[in-house]
Amino acid sequence: MKLVFLGPPGAGKGTQAVRMAQEFGVCHASTGDIFRQAAASGSELGRAVSDYLDGGRLVPDELTSRVVEEMVVARADDYILDGYPRTLQQARDLDQMLRLRNEELDAVLYFELDDEAAVRRLTGRLVCSECGENYHREFMPPKVAGVCDKCGAPLKARSDSSEDVVRQRLAEYHEKTRPLVGFYEERGLVERVDASAPPDEVTRRTHAVLARL
């Protein structure tokens, strides 16, 4: 099973990727985790990744694809790619990797969520100032407003949760990543999942899609 999970920020594709990887016994490969593993390895490729991460810069397409190939595609038979590909060039790179191995994707799951729902989800996120426990004003509120259930410390808004930052992320998604849906739809690979429901219901829908592949 070789899968790509696509969707806008806030759609919960990372949550679903973790759950499905556990359910089906496959590798969950998120770009962030892969970058951190590569950087920690001390390899030549890892040092190149570290240079970008340490400088707060985006890792370019070519290097991102090399990392995914070395850390995932060349090592695992079954995986869910979460956060890759992010651009059309990365999608073409992935095609090339698979073609060289006489392999192909089984499906691309597209988690659909409109922008306003994404903004509401992402701007409502809270984090404990002490223990790091996560909350949400609307969907997962603390028992006492502004106070962590776990340690009693004050909660604060996440630094990446301002509306301006969220809308900027959504704009970048629509420009760079949303075109991948059409790219994969032309090949009959896209399975759409309505991500507007609570996470457990989205999990049920996702499982139903994968069970019939």
Q: Is 187 an active-site residue?
A: no
Catalytically annotated residue among 36, 169, 176, 178: 169
Residue 58 has a pLDDT of 85
Catalytically annotated residue among 2, 13, 66, 121: 13
Average pLDDT over residues 187-199: 96
CATH of the domain at 64: 3.40.50.300
Domain range enclosing 11: 2-114+177-211
Question: In sequence order, which residues have a C-beta less than 8 Å from that of residue 46 and are 6 or more positions away?
Answer: 38, 39, 40
Distance between CA 209 and CA 205 in Å, rounded? Answer: 6
Distance between CA 161 and CA 159 in Å, rounded? Answer: 6
Whether 197 is in a domain gets the answer yes
Residues of the chain with pLDDT > 90: what percent?
Answer: 88
Average pLDDT over residues 63-83: 95
Whether 145 is in a domain gets the answer no
Whether 109 is in a domain gets the answer yes
Whether 106 is in a domain gets the answer yes
Q: Is 86 an active-site residue?
A: yes
Whether 7 and 190 have beta carbons less than 8 Å apart is answered as: no
Whether 105 is in a domain gets the answer yes
Read off the pLDDT of residues 7-32 as tens digits, 9 standing for 90 and up.
Answer: 999 999 999 999 999 999 999 999 98
Q: Is 120 an active-site residue?
A: no
Catalytically annotated residue among 120, 158, 167, 176: 158
Whether 125 is in a domain gets the answer no
Residue 57 has pLDDT above 90, yes or no: no
Whether 99 is in a domain gets the answer yes
How many domains, the chain?
1
Whether 65 and 107 have beta carbons less than 8 Å apart is answered as: no
pTM: 0.89
Question: Is residue 18 helix, strand or coil?
Answer: helix
Q: Is 169 an active-site residue?
A: yes
User: Tokens 């950087």, residue?
Assistant: 39
Whether 63 is in a domain gets the answer yes
Average pLDDT over residues 50-79: 93
Read off the pLDDT of residues 117-162 as tens digits, 9 standing for 90 and up.
Answer: 999 999 999 999 999 998 999 888 999 999 999 999 999 998 888 9
